[in-house]
Amino acid sequence: MTAVEEAAPAPARGRGRTALIAAGIVGLVVALFVGVLATRKPADQRIAPSTLQGRPAPDTAGPDLNGTQVQLSQFKGQYVLVNFFATWCIPCVDEQPELVRFQQRHGAAGDATIVSIIYQDRLSDVRQFFKERGGGWPVIQNEGSKVDWGVRGVPESFLVDPDGVVLTRIVGGVRDASLEQLLAQAKQFRQGS
Amino acid sequence: MRRALPALALAAVLVLALAVGSTHSGKPPTVTQRVHHIAKEVRCPTCQGLSADESDAPASEAIRNVIRDKVQAGQTDGQIRAFLVDRYGRDILLKPEAKGVGLIAWGLPVVGGVGALAGLVFAFRRWRKRPTRRVTDEERALVAAAEPSTEELAFLKASLTDLDRERAAGDIDEHDYAELQDDYTARAVALLQPPAPAPGPIRTTRRAPQRPQRRWLKPAAWTVLVAGLATVAGLLVAHTAGERVPGQAAAGSITSTGPSDQLAQARVLVGQRKVLDAIKLYDKVIAEDPKNAEALAYRGWLVRLTGKASNDTTLIDRGLEYVNRAVAADPSYPDAHFFKGEILLRDKQDALGAIPEFRAFLASNAPQDMATLVQGELQAALQAAGQAPPTTQP
């Protein structure tokens, strides 16, 4: 470095202030992200978004446990809880009594029903499962349907309205009381609209 | 033109490389190749950091089958991707789409890169063009006639002489020559001229009203700009980020071998129907920590479920044994009590034995939905034991 270059004035003015402003900005950005994340719904939220919400439900069809062809659209006119399940899935085992209670009430009333869709399971296991744990609703075999519904795991359920429109997606095991609440809300909304 | 040659050459190489890279060559891909290609871009819905092509989870297998069906039906890659996005949402794609909000993910690095490049160019130009003014012929004459009275002046005069020599030899172009000559001359003139008067009261008063304005205006503008960008980014994150569901990782795919990660992996394996793999993982945790209540309880429960499925009472007993060990290891772990209660009530028809287990579960701070479920099981146990159902939660 020459003497001339050394003699050149150093632009050191306001360095401390710049650092302070930079730190302030970084702090602001961090605070914003923390705020965004903190206001998100918790991970164990049961009602989850679905791209199918408000759209016609995929018309899933397939043989039931007796080999009879069943199609989802044949249940139009009543609310349908489409339930993806597997016998190897512990939350599915847990939710089964809840589903049975729900079906017992609404099967007789005729306003709502359950349609289960088998998720990667053996037919013999499913038959045994329903024999042991009850549940006389249709159970459809259709492996491709999990993609049609955008299902990520089991159990996952969708409440479909009497017009065949998807209302809600429920991730994880369902509870009878929560289902009743959802159904009541759906009916109320339908009457109001 | 000579100065622009390197940039033009670089641009030509880039364009050529991109053209060669993007040129479709060879035979059209087979159905299997296309399935692999599309599945590689699709996220496995139930695993961590794997594509649907790599994963053997049921959900990924189903996605591959659907892709195959659609490829065979003559759909394009774009149509198939659009279908998957339609059903799962944008986050099913490993790479964001180059449209809508996804465009930001692609565009931001480009904008950032261009901005950084522009900043560098600007900085270099500033450094090179330090003396912005052109010197006059009088000043040139002044410097030429001046005696090298100081070391600095001698250096600058020598530099000017060197510059003329380089120009005569053709080692420097006219533009650089002119700039450097002006630079050296201006610095020499500054040395020859008397020093500027010390800042007095008039100068201070003249500058005072202007400087404070500049001081706060620029940082404030930057702060507002960055805060605005951060707000927009935050809102976009809030708008586009999906909710994490049980079994999904918050981010990343780093495999860890700690007990808590192994337990998390085991839960994912259970969801993928890989019961045996999950049991193996629980065994690993138990080998490291024989009193890990979660591993003991869930290992026992999985064995019990397997026993139930195959009507194997030995397996059910074995499951109960592990669950008992979990209760003994950590009596405050609620899941173990629930599993024990279920096994006693449903498999052993021991309703009396199940009642305290369900009550122990309910005494913990269990989530409301689980508490409701176990309350129902407790009532079933009480009825089976011939006891009146409780009117209040214990």
**Rounded (5°) CA angle B277-B283-B286:** 150
Residue B232 touches chain A, beta carbons under 8 Å: no
Report residue B192's pLDDT band, with 50, 70 and 90 as the boundaries. Answer: confident
CA atoms within 13 A on the CB side of A178: 22
Check A120 against B58: CB less than 8 A apart: yes
- Report whether pLDDT(B197) > 60: no
- Report whether pLDDT(A116) > 90: yes
Per-residue confidence (pLDDT) for residue A45, from 0 to 100: 38
CA atoms within 13 A on the CB side of B144: 11
Contacts of B226 in chain A (CB under 8 A): 25, 28-29
Please report, to the nearest 10 degrees, the dihedral formed by the alpha carbons of residues A80, B248, B332, B286 taken in order.
120
Q: Which residue did the predictor score with more confidence, A148 or B1? A: A148
Check B243 against A7: CB less than 8 A apart: no
pTM of the predicted structure, to 2 decimals = 0.46
- Lowest-confidence region among A141-145, B152-156, B197-201, B278-282: B197-201
pLDDT in tens, B327-380: 999 888 888 999 999 999 999 999 999 999 988 888 877 777 778 888 888 888
- Chain A: nearest CA to B25, how far in angstroms? 33
Tokens of A109: 């009333």
Per-residue confidence (pLDDT) for residue A5, from 0 to 100: 44
Per-residue confidence (pLDDT) for residue A63, from 0 to 100: 96
Check B234 against A32: CB less than 8 A apart: yes
Determine the Cα–Cα distance for residues A152 and B299; give it in Å rounded to an integer. 24
Q: pLDDT over 70 for what percent of chain B?
A: 76
pLDDT in tens, A151-187: 988 899 999 999 999 999 999 889 999 999 999 999 9
Per-residue confidence (pLDDT) for residue B271, from 0 to 100: 73
Per-residue confidence (pLDDT) for residue B241, from 0 to 100: 53
Per-residue confidence (pLDDT) for residue B274, from 0 to 100: 77
Check A24 against B86: CB less than 8 A apart: no
Tokens of B303: 């064995």
Most A CBs within 10 A among B56, B183, B223, B226, hence the mutation to make, goes to B226
Contacts of B238 in chain A (CB under 8 A): 36, 39-40
Mean pLDDT score, B54-77:
91
- Report whether pLDDT(B119) > 90: no
- Lowest-confidence region among A93-97, A122-126, B211-215, B303-307: B211-215
Pairing status of strand A112-118 against strand A79-85: parallel
The one-letter amino acid at B336: A
Q: Which residue did the predictor score with more confidence, A61 or A91? A: A61
pLDDT in tens, B84-93: 999 999 889 9
Check B222 against A177: CB less than 8 A apart: no
Average pLDDT, chain B: 78
- Report whether pLDDT(B256) > 50: no
A155 close to A118: Cβ distance less than 8 angstroms: no
Residue B192 touches chain A, beta carbons under 8 Å: no
Report residue B73's pLDDT band, with 50, 70 and 90 as the boundaries. Answer: very high
R_g of chain B, CA atoms, integer Å: 38
- Report whether pLDDT(B250) > 50: no
ipTM of this model?
Answer: 0.73
The DSSP bridge partners found for residue B43 are: B51
B49 close to B249: Cβ distance less than 8 angstroms: yes
Nearest to A90 by CA among B373, B348, B349, B326: B373
Residue B309 touches chain A, beta carbons under 8 Å: yes
Mean pLDDT score, B202-220:
54
- Report whether pLDDT(A131) > 90: yes
Q: Which residue did the predictor score with more confidence, B175 or A145? A: A145
Per-residue confidence (pLDDT) for residue B52, from 0 to 100: 92
Check B45 against A86: CB less than 8 A apart: no
Most A CBs within 10 A among B46, B273, B335, B372, hence the mutation to make, goes to B273
Check B223 against A21: CB less than 8 A apart: yes
By CB neighbour count within 10 A (0-12 exposed, 13-18 middle, 19+ buried), where does B253 fall?
Answer: exposed
Q: pLDDT over 90 for what percent of chain B?
A: 23
Q: Which residue has the tokens 């993928």?
A: B272
- Report whether pLDDT(B167) > 60: yes
* Phi-psi domain of B251 (left: phi exceeds 0; alpha: psi -120 through 50; beta: other): beta
Per-residue confidence (pLDDT) for residue B129, from 0 to 100: 56
Please report, to the nearest 10 degrees, the dihedral formed by the alpha carbons of residues A86, A88, A89, A94 taken in order.
90
- Lowest-confidence region among B125-139, B174-188, B260-274, B320-334: B125-139
Mean pLDDT score, B23-31:
71
Residue B145 touches chain A, beta carbons under 8 Å: no
Contacts of A41 in chain B (CB under 8 A): 243
Check A4 against B155: CB less than 8 A apart: yes
Report residue B206's pLDDT band, with 50, 70 and 90 as the boundaries. Answer: very low
Most B CBs within 10 A among A36, A50, A92, hence the mutation to make, goes to A36
Per-residue confidence (pLDDT) for residue B234, from 0 to 100: 66
